[in-house]
Structure 1
């Protein structure tokens, strides 16, 4: 890609370049577990998006790639706004440290599976204080109580790897 082409594209890769990079190096993502908490910080509800994924409908969490030269804080805010709307009012902690790191592999059986790539996802629990509305890629956003979130039926609706991510987030918040 020439200098002019790359300057015009900003931080985004062309589809061809993205596919090439995905075959060569792990991609960095953020995953956000949106929560509602009470005044003492206890978990009241977990937010999950309902999305169409290829030929099925799944529940998932806001997530996406970290762009070149983008801070983690900027990536989190960008994906929260994209998936939950501009008035979600997230409360990011002063220290941006993930509660867990997930790995996805393009090889079935090697761990969590993503047919497109090897990806490393830094996962964050983020309290939301505003009105959350699903982005255009989602059908709805639903808030589930901790009891509802623990049910096998709901966890079976989650995208691959996200049931384990939900259990880890709830355990971190003292709810498992």
Structure 2
């Protein structure tokens, strides 16, 4: 583990501190759309996680999570991809990643297309090619690889919550799908 990672992991907020922070200021997140690409760089498949929400609903989800204090965005992306897809996912993230968009999640529905009832969050969103073996980890029940055409079907997008379906469409459009 690098020094930056160990410094970041020691900077988790206690649950009561996180709740207080969520009530007072936006929290920075990263969202990642894991994709498989062919030799020409064209997207051949898109990975979505299957999760159970706190309310017991099954949803499809992107890789997502907070950026910790004193953590580089690239390190946060790598950490969350490893946390959700496993240590053998082999993501390709450039040294200085550029998001395809910035999503603003609000606790009040309808302010933007993105909603998080817990907080106001700002998320830097990326499309991340992965080459290795991926397997759902932690609270993810399943990882399903969809073709670009399948993942954009309304039935799949309807399984996503909080506006992540909108983010998925934006990300795929950004890479020419």
- The equivalent position to 2:164 in structure 1, one of 150, 162, 168, is 162
The count of aligned residue pairs is 168
Query: What pairs with 1:23-172 in structure 2 (closer than 5 Å)?
Result: 23-53=23-53, 54-111=55-112, 112-172=114-174
SS in 2 for 1:131: coil
Quote how far apart the aligned CAs of 1:36 are: 0.2
Question: 1:98, CA displacement in angstroms?
Answer: 0.5
CA distance in 2, matches of 1:52, 1:145: 23
Structure 2 residues without counterparts, runs of 5 or longer: 1-6
- Pick one of 169, 173, 176 that aligns with 1:174: 176
CA offset digits 1:84-105 (Å, max 9, x no partner):
0000000112331101110111
The CA distance in 1 between the partners of 2:164 and 2:21, in whole Å, is 25
Which stretches in structure 1 are left out of the alignment for 5+ residues? 1-6
More deviation, 104-113/80-89: 104-113
Larger-gyration structure (1/2):
1
RMSD: 1.3
C-alpha distance in structure 1 between counterparts of 2:20 and 2:108, whole Å: 17
Normalised by the size of structure 1, how large is the TM-score?
0.92
**After superposition, what is the alpha-carbon deviation per residue over 1:44-66, rounded to whole angstroms, capped at 9, x for unaligned?**
00000000012210000111000
Taking structure 2 as the reference length, the TM-score comes to 0.92
Q: Which moved more, 1:9-18 or 1:131-140?
A: 9-18
Find runs of 4+ consecutive structure 1 residues off by over 6 angstroms. Answer: none
